[in-house]
Amino acid sequence: MKRRALSLSLALLLAAPAVAGAVEFTPQELARATALQKKLVTLDSHLDTPANFERADFDILAAHPGNLLSQVDYPRMVQGALDGGFWAVYTGQGDRSEKAHLDDRDDGLQRLSVIHQLLAAHPDTFEEATTPADAARIKAEGKRIVYISMENASPLVADPSLLSFYYKQGLRLMSTAHFLNNEFADSATDPKGPEWHGLSPAGKALVQQAQKLGIVIDQSHASDDVFDQLIAMSPVPILLSHSGARAVHDHPRNIDDARLKVLAAHGGVIQMNSYSGYLIDNGASPERKAAEGALMGKYGDWEHMKVADGAKLTADLKALDAKYPVRKATLDDFLAHFDHTLKLIGPEHVGIGMDWDGGGGVAGMEDVSDLPKITAWLLRKGYTEQQIADIWGGNVLRVMQQAQDWAASQAH
């Protein structure tokens, strides 16, 4: 339960009052941005949307505006000119007992299955992609692109050899840890501090196994030591699927400038995150946190909430915001991280991974329908269409191609 409570607590931040960021775009700028995105392959590298596939009343073909449980669906992907991305097999982790590891394993397989069920249910609208070339082909066929990723390798603790099954089922991007340390790696945010001082021996073996299969390693959520070890051991570039710049907001989930330069020198890419709690300090009071806890009790288990409950919870949180205000990150805050990172390592090493349906979203960009604001901003800043294409997908696909090419070379 703890993991779910934590997820909820963070996601609640979404519900703060929607104060628009200072940045504004004209209808002309947004129209031009949308038109450009329609030409490009636009991918977000961290979509937590598969969590919604398990909600009985979720319909990906319907729009769910103003519901904190849903920021990604087909109508809003069309509106925001988002072609797809990496749809995550996310699992938390239990108490790291043997039973918890088996539950994590089952939860991961279940999440993987519901992604394939979504694909089976909507074959004319979504298609699974496993190679970089698939993205443009699927877009040309008028469908949305579904790469499969794993956030937190906890489903593999019980039996790391299950990675072969995930690979056969399409897994092409994988992170080691999430909020807390696990058997593979230290998290950036475990209150207990480092356990392995990076990757465990099992974690190193898992990374090597993944890279031999051509699976890209995702560093987001893992500790700095894990980053350093991944850079040292990886024959291919790594990805940060949803992270921010520590120079802009000093939070362990963000990455410092020195490491960003190492990442880029190693050919890697950071995909910019829009998770409010990592962009800024929201200044939540103890009273606010207690009130959030009480609200949680009312709605129960986050993972089994219905989408309809999400709408009610959204309303309840608006009332909470009136009583216990918190600062919510704005589009300006997101752009500050984006701008800093782009200037530091260049548009060949930066992309988009907003953590939609996983706690992402800022005032002024509440869901995927607003994504053309990113392109409008890039155009205003003078980035070329090629650079914008790289940011929206070219960079992450380049990293994937390198990972797959290296794996193929090893198989010979």
Closest CA to 2 of 191, 134, 149: 191
Nearer to a second copy, 91 or 387 (CB): 91
Does 409 participate in binding a second copy (rule CB under 8 A)? no
Instruction: Determine, following the binding rule CB under 8 A, whether residue 97 of this chain makes contact with a second copy.
Output: no
Residue 57 half-sphere exposure toward CB, CA atoms < 13 A: 12
CB-based contact 218:149 (threshold 8 Å): yes
Please tell me the count of residues contacting a second copy according to CB under 8 A: 22
According to the binding rule CB under 8 A, does residue 102 interact with a second copy?
A: yes
100 binds a second copy (CB under 8 A): no
Among the listed residues 309, 344, 375, the one whose alpha carbon sits nearest the alpha carbon of residue 29: 375
Contact call for residue 386 and a second copy (CB under 8 A)? no
In whole angstroms, give the CA distance from residue 384 to residue 406.
30
Closest CA to 150 of 98, 97, 104: 104
Nearer to a second copy, 128 or 370 (CB): 128
Question: 119-148: which residues touch a second copy (CB under 8 A)?
Answer: 119-121, 123
CB of 215 to a second copy, least distance (A): 15
Packing angle, helices 224-233 and 201-213, rounded to 10: 50
- The residue range among 84-92, 162-170, 392-400, 404-412 that interacts with a second copy, by the rule CB under 8 A, is 162-170
d(CA 22, CA 270): 25
CB closer to a second copy out of 39 and 168: 168
Among the residue ranges 30-38, 109-117, 243-251, 258-266, the one whose residues contact a second copy (CB under 8 A):
109-117
User: Pattern 165-204, binding to a second copy, x per CB under 8 A?
Assistant: x--xx-----------------------------------
The whole-angstrom separation of Cα 269 and Cα 231 is 12
Round to whole Å and give the CA distance between 373 and 43. Answer: 15
By CB under 8 A, is residue 110 in contact with a second copy?
yes
